[in-house]
Structure 1
Amino acid sequence: MSVSASAVAVPDASTASARWLTPVELGVLGAIWGASFLFMRVAAPHFGALALVEIRLAAGALVLLPFLWLARARFPLRLWPLLALIAAINSAVPFTLFAWAAERAPAGIGAITNAMTVPFTALVGFLFFSEKIGTRRALALAAGFVGVLVLASGRSAGASVGMAAAAGTLAAFMYGLGINLVRRHLSGLPPAAVAAATLSCAALLALPFAIATWPASNPPPLAWAAALALGVLCTGIAMVGYYRLIARIGPSRASTVTYLVPLFGVSWAWWLLDEPVTLPMVLAGALILGSVAISQRAPR
């Protein structure tokens, strides 16, 4: 290479790397979280909702426990009742609702309703924490609710999906409530350690129900593989990746993964489970993702 050619300005390697690394990581995270609904659809009919959720919580907690151990001095005993409450609201109950829905409806139904978490977070802040919601976010909520109604009124493979859509929507509302509680009461703590603590508490809370409803016959290997992937990959490893992404690009940009989860969830189910993509699912997905877009663009 000549001297003149070598003198041409070259972008900084770390900056150039970040340009392609961020969309790749967002895509991978969206694919993983989208696959969680596929895994639930495969495993839930064999384990039942409560047993599957226990496996998911315990496996996810085990992956994240090292982060809690490193930050253990910042988690005094007086904090654990609050952690247990948030664990029920943000993990145990919504995970169970999504698993229950996965027993009864295509995986795409849960993936689409999951996107309602973003507008529900704004709604909970408005209803319970005196946050301003604004006209744009109010319109976003309205569009999202219309999307849920369209989804719930549809049918897939000849069966009504209304109850599954309602369960997924309630789970998204619980996520919105949990996010607000974490933001206000646990914001000064390491996020990965908080996730480990809440998943551990949720696993203990769900354990008696899982034991009482444990399947009489051992589920097949594919169901076990799906259940473990749901816990280790989609709950534990994905959370580590998400917090790493937040640390590098900030929570606002990292939250754009919300747009990808329904797309991947529906695509995985269509590709691997031959689940149909119906017109109500397309319309509902467009309305709900549109509500997410409006909600995220609204002023804080």
Structure 2
Amino acid sequence: MTEKSPLATELALLLLLSTLWGASYSFIKLGVATIPPLTFIAARTLIAGAVLAVIIHGRRLGWPADRATWRKFLVQACLNSVVPFTLIAWAEQMTDAGLATILNSTSPIFVFLLTALVTRHEPLTSRKLFGVVAGLLGTCLIVGPQALDGLGNGLLAQLAIVAATICYAGAAITGRGFKGLDPMLPAAGSLLSGAALLGPVALVVDRPWTLTPSAASLAALLALATISTALAMVIYFRLVQTLGSLGATAQSYLRVPIGVGIGVLLLGERLSPTAWAGLACVVAGVIAMALPAPAHRAIMHPPRT
């Protein structure tokens, strides 16, 4: 962290990102009621990318001119939107929400493993390992152990969700390659690249000009694209640089207690003692993953330079 960017600020942004992405599930549910998933996702990336492009133009930021950076944007688009969005949209038709939530929350585990075994781009400490384990345990306790009952049934769909989660882990690691760029540039570049990939397919498959979406679906699409995608992606790329790959993916754990908290505040729901214990585990895990790691206490290989 720098003096201008204290840890408290980054944790607040992590909480905001978790809220924005947690709300996206409701927007998607409303949107796909009358808009096919492929067209919905293509429109989401196009609108979000266009909004950020307008802001970039207004701020007079210069777009990267080299092909290498745009290739990175394309890779980021595949890992962070095109592939995982498609896999999850297909898989959740056959997977219970509770189990899908748990499987979706495992990206910190894959970031930890990929970092330790492959990239070694940041130091890994026993505290961060504790954070990964505590966060996953807390997620399971909040959702309820019964959610694991369906594990193994509909194995292909569950593997698709795991594959999507691995994509998200890879995106958090490759996102480190945009260091030095304003976070708005990789956010917009990857979204527009994703739209370029998804748009032609949606035109052929769904023929969107023949659709008659409802006003609720269109409103959900607009909210999803502007708030839960454009704004969220800018925050995400900032956090990848400030908290690191593992710290940024901690938001996947936070989405669960945020959703539960909304139910408590707005719907009068009550938390069981198990859920309270899970909430404590998640908070402890997120803090452990987000705190900077002293290089001399790394339990794995030191980061590669």
Unmatched tracts of structure 2, length 5 or more: 1-5, 295-305
Distance apart, 1:283 and its partner CA: 9.4
Question: Which residue of 1 is the match for residue 88 of structure 2?
Answer: 98
Question: Which residue of 1 is the match for residue 214 of structure 2?
Answer: 220
2:31 to 43, 64, 68: 43
Contact 2:108 2:132 in 1 (8 A): no
SS in 1 for 2:186: helix
Whole-Å separation in 1 of the counterparts to 2:33 and 2:274: 24
1:64 to 43, 52, 55: 52
In the alignment, residue 84 of structure 1 is paired with which amino acid? Answer: L
Distance apart, 1:200 and its partner CA: 0.4
Structure 1 residues 237 and 75: alpha-carbon distance in aligned structure 2, compared to 1, 3 A threshold: same
SS in 1 for 2:69: helix
Question: Which residue of 2 is the match for residue 154 of structure 1?
Answer: 149
In the alignment, residue 230 of structure 1 is paired with which amino acid? Answer: L
1:82 to 72, 78, 82: 72
Contact 1:89 1:175 in 2 (8 A): yes
Bigger helix fraction: 1
Determine if the alignment matches structure 1 residue 177 to structure 2 residue 170.
Answer: yes
SS in 2 for 1:189: coil
Contact 2:48 2:230 in 1 (8 A): yes
Q: How does 1:100-139 map to 2 (within 5 A)?
A: 100-105=90-95, 112-130=102-120, 133-138=124-129
Contact 1:111 1:266 in 2 (8 A): no
Contact 2:136 2:253 in 1 (8 A): no
Structure 1 residues 224 and 151: alpha-carbon distance in aligned structure 2, compared to 1, 3 A threshold: farther
Question: Which residue of 2 is the match for residue 12 of structure 1?
Answer: none
Structure 1 residues 124 and 244: alpha-carbon distance in aligned structure 2, compared to 1, 3 A threshold: closer
Whole-Å separation in 2 of the counterparts to 1:88 and 1:46: 25
Distance apart, 1:227 and its partner CA: 2.1
Contact 2:24 2:224 in 1 (8 A): yes
Identical pairs, percent = 26
Contact 2:95 2:154 in 1 (8 A): yes
Whole-Å separation in 2 of the counterparts to 1:26 and 1:141: 16
SS in 1 for 2:32: helix
TM-score (norm. length: structure 1): 0.68
How far does the alpha carbon of each residue in 1:49-85 deviate from its partner, in whole angstroms, 9 at most, with x for none?
3222111111110121135543335332343223212
Equivalenced residue count is: 276
Contact 2:10 2:243 in 1 (8 A): no
Unmatched tracts of structure 1, length 5 or more: 1-17
Contact 2:63 2:185 in 1 (8 A): no
Question: Which residue of 1 is the match for residue 298 of structure 2?
Answer: none
Contact 2:175 2:237 in 1 (8 A): no
In the alignment, residue 164 of structure 2 is paired with which amino acid? Answer: A
Structure 1 residues 120 and 293: alpha-carbon distance in aligned structure 2, compared to 1, 3 A threshold: farther
Contact 1:44 1:99 in 2 (8 A): no
Question: Which residue of 2 is the match for residue 197 of structure 1?
Answer: 189
In the alignment, residue 48 of structure 1 is paired with which amino acid? Answer: P
The structure whose Rg is larger is: 1
Deviates more, 1:130-139 or 1:91-100: 130-139
Whole-Å separation in 2 of the counterparts to 1:123 and 1:222: 41
Contact 1:151 1:281 in 2 (8 A): no
Question: Which residue of 2 is the match for residue 237 of structure 1?
Answer: 231
Distance apart, 1:236 and its partner CA: 0.9
Contact 1:110 1:168 in 2 (8 A): yes
TM-score (norm. length: structure 2): 0.67
Whole-Å separation in 2 of the counterparts to 1:202 and 1:283: 39
Q: RMSD of the TM alignment (CA)?
A: 4.6
